[in-house]
Amino acid sequence: MKSFFYAIALLLLIFCNGLYAASLPLVEIITATNESCADVIVPKDVVLTSPPVWKNLPDLPKFCQIRGQIEGNTLFELRLPKQWNGRFLMAGCGGCCGSLLPDKKGHSNSINEALKNGFAAISHNGGHQGASSKTQWAFNNPELLTLFAHKILPQVTKIGVAITESLYHKAPHHRYFSGCSNGGRLGMMAAQRYPYLFDGIAAGSSIFDLSGNAGLWGNWLVEQTQPKDKPLFDRNKTAFLEKIVLKQCDPLDGEQDGVIADPQACKVDLNQYQCSSAKSLPHCFSACLLYTSPSPRD
């Protein structure tokens, strides 16, 4: 099975650096003709949102810009370099997606660094439109939810490869995926559900547990944040709190080794550390803080 999903998707970049940092070995370069961009043929389930056109943008190689919509939901932009290295890359999208960001900077869920190295590269909006922090689009819409979850991968790749082949009259000899955060989750989905879709996958900081990360952790952050984004819990008290938790919970397994073996059994009592006055001092907690803060186990 392609060397066990290419060693579980060839996790080339764990912290959202790009697939393209290392220089590529010598490859055949294919040059597109000036006329070919306007003559690109798109699949029947694609509607172009603007005519294909050659673009010359600062710090980028000349490329054919193709913008369109797939099956009425997925917005995409495919960038096909004048000098093509025969490779294709699909980028992921962050958060809950919803926006088309072909000029996103850096290597995370972006395509321009790949374009600079001669890749045909495609960006997309995850199959729906909206702010990356919003999820209303998914309510009572299993089609869009499934598209966002994983079907966006074969959908965008199929269209991107077909249009790429139309311009250069040759299919990509290697296909890659690169994404971080939710894009990393898509990379893991590609490895599990579509192991033959890509020849290499860079899945960075994959949020595979959306409920745990976006739900529980996100709600905890909301509880911990006061107006103007000021944290409820003073970070200077973190080390003090750590000592208290370790003192009360480390010995529960019979050993004091600096490790809490059973976090579920850890029930910390902070009442004895309440400040005698309303003012929160370095080695105590105000009554207000003890009342409003989530427990250390949360």
In the chain, the percentage of residues whose pLDDT exceeds 90 is: 58
Do 125 and 260 belong together in one domain? no
Mean pLDDT of the chain: 86
Q: Which of 9-13, 27-31, 135-139 comes out lowest in average pLDDT?
A: 9-13
CA distances from 119 to 11, 148, 249 (A): 19, 24, 53
State the pLDDT at residue 205.
Answer: 87
Given a contact cutoff of 8 angstroms between Cβ atoms, the answer to whether 80 and 32 are in contact is yes
State the pLDDT at residue 219.
Answer: 74
Do 125 and 22 belong together in one domain? yes
**Quick check: 69 pLDDT over 60?**
yes
State the pLDDT at residue 9.
Answer: 39
In a domain, 228, yes or no: no
Do 115 and 245 belong together in one domain? no
In a domain, 215, yes or no: no
State the pLDDT at residue 34.
Answer: 77
State the pLDDT at residue 220.
Answer: 73
Q: How many domains does the chain have?
A: 2
In a domain, 140, yes or no: yes
Residue 41's domain spans which residues? 2-208
In a domain, 216, yes or no: no
Do 26 and 141 belong together in one domain? yes
Do 166 and 249 belong together in one domain? no
Q: Read off the pLDDT band of 199 (50, 70, 90).
A: very high
In a domain, 29, yes or no: yes
Do 142 and 261 belong together in one domain? no
Q: How large is the C-alpha radius of gyration of the chain? A: 25
pLDDT tens digits, residue range 34-56? 788 999 999 999 999 999 999 99
Do 275 and 185 belong together in one domain? no
